Amino acid sequence: MYTLLSGLYKYMFQKDEYCVLILGLDNAGKTLLILSVDLKKSKIRCSSCCSLTFLCLLTVGTIDVGKARLMFWDLGGQDELQSLWDKYYAESHGVIYVIDSTDEERLSESKEAFEKMISSEVLEGVPLLVLANKQDVPNCLSVPDIKTAFSDSAPKIGKRDCLVQPCTALTGDGVNEGIEWMVKCVVRNIHRPPRQKDIT
């Protein structure tokens, strides 16, 4: 009887919560990405700021998609903050890596940060969504251009679910499609079970 009531409680009052890291260089559009997700369903808060540099260290946003709740952790992309990324890997269920498609000069820097992240054993098997942001800007790098530039990293991706999605965080184009794909991937990933959270 307890098992039945427990299952009913979980079905009615709890959601499966998945933590998704949003990584990438500064100015790639990571924070705007969170804001462009369906705002009627999302809650955004800045949870920690550095008073010395005035840079936000961590912005957290949540969105409910069906029975799943995604908690986005937008980590700062500045050089001095990238060293903190790996502190969050063990708790994450998915990674969104944002690339500024208009900044060809920093593409190699972005690739270096990407390779360091994807090489972590802690993230093995975690779904990866690469967003080629700012696709609305003329003469930006296309998805094939970015795939070619990052082709050396392909073996490190391994057997995990991976998608490269063009998007424009400013308008939201392509963002929801990427989020829907991520939801499917984290839900079916048996290696990282969700956390149970009461519906609020």
> Is residue 164 classed exposed, middle or buried when 0-12, 13-18 and 19+ CB atoms within 10 A define those classes?
middle
The CA distance from 18 to 71, in Å, is 6
The proportion of the chain whose per-residue pLDDT surpasses 90, expressed as a percent, equals: 52
Which domains, and CATH codes, for the chain? 15-193 (3.40.50.300)
Q: Is 103 annotated as a binding residue?
A: no
Query: pTM of the predicted model, to two decimals?
Result: 0.84
Check the annotation: does 152 bind a ligand.
no
Question: For 155-182, what is the mean pLDDT?
Answer: 92
pLDDT tens by residue, 125-149: 999 999 999 999 999 999 999 999 9
pLDDT band at 67 (very low <50, low <70, confident <90, very high): confident
> Annotation-wise, does 198 bind a ligand?
no
pLDDT score, position 1: 53
Q: What is the mean pLDDT of the chain?
A: 82
What pLDDT, on a 0 to 100 scale, did the predictor assign at position 198?
58
Instruction: Report whether 77 belongs to an annotated binding site.
Output: yes
- Is 25 labelled as part of a ligand binding site? yes
**DSSP annotation of 159:** T
Distance CA 180, CA 41 (A): 14
What is the spatial distance between Cα 67 and Cα 12, in angstroms, rounded to a whole number? 10
Is the pLDDT score of 199 beyond 80? Answer: no
Amino acid at 36: S
Please give the pLDDT value at position 45.
42
134 in a labelled binding site: yes
Q: Are 127 and 162 in contact (CB under 8 A)?
A: yes
